[in-house]
Amino acid sequence: MYFDTHTHLDDEKFDPDRELVIENLKKEGVSLAVNVGADLTSSKNSIALAEQYDFIYAAVGVHPNEVGEMQDEDLETLADMAKHEKVVAVGEIGLDYHYDEPGRDVQKLWFEKQLRMAQALNMPFIVHDRDAHQDTLELLKKVGYYNGVMHCFSGSCEMAKILLDLGFYISIAGQVTFKNAPKVKEVAKMVPADRLFIETDSPYLTPEPHRGERNNSANVKFTCAKIAELKEISAEKLAKVTLENGKKFYGIR
């Protein structure tokens, strides 16, 4: 049974058939999923999904591309959301320098504030890091709270080793199945299985053989199979280990 540790089933791309997609997941072998917030609205919607489905849990946070209008009272709203019994993490939070807006200083300000909120709540957190590896590491070390997972990891083996030494988990998504992703494949081989998560980040990053289609949590099996092949272990074993890793990290019994 698979644990999709990072998905966005509340995304508007699922509006036409969300219920059907979710009801099909257990038939596809997905026994757990964490639906991750990207702003206040999606965080609220993640909680609603978690209330509706017993195998879905929620994370609440504001994605770096969405922090431009954040106010301190929004942190209070997130902290209140985080107390819900089905909320298991703060996220996704972090830095994204792929686009110019919002500015880097604004992103760093709200990444740090949300990190410190997670620390104050003693909760795990989910990091989004795109084209911002050095600043991400510096901010994490500045705060000094390392109960986190690097979602959809895109860094080098060297960066992964630094994060592992700090106590992080590394999460790998569907890009590990892409032919033009040698760096992610090397990381997948290097990270110990007991520090690894698998995810879809659906509806994005659809793995082969369905690349180009809308992604959904059922496709986590393709990511699992590819990583298992790279690590020369069975997909069943990797599915079991990553399931237990996710449950331990998120505090799910």
The predicted pLDDT at position 6 comes to: 98
CA angle 209, 214, 217 (to 5 degrees): 80
Task: Annotate 156-200 with three-state secondary structure.
Answer: CHHHHHHHHHHCCEEEECHHHHCCCCHHHHHHHHHCCHHHEEECC
**Residue at 7: amino acid letter:** T
pTM confidence score: 0.97
Neighbour order of strands in the sheet with 2-7: 2-7, 30-36, 56-60, 87-96, 125-130, 148-150, 169-172, 196-198
pLDDT tens for 77-123 read: 999 999 999 999 999 999 999 988 999 999 999 999 999 999 999 99
Distance CA 56, CA 149 (A): 18
Question: Terminal CA-to-CA distance of the chain, rounded, Å?
Answer: 15
Which regions of the chain does DSSP assign to beta strands (E)? 2-7, 30-36, 56-60, 87-96, 125-130, 148-150, 169-172, 196-198
The predicted pLDDT at position 100 comes to: 83
Instruction: Give the residues of the chain that fall short of pLDDT 70.
Output: none
What's the alpha-carbon Rg for the chain, to the nearest Å?
17
pLDDT tens for 83-92 read: 999 999 999 9
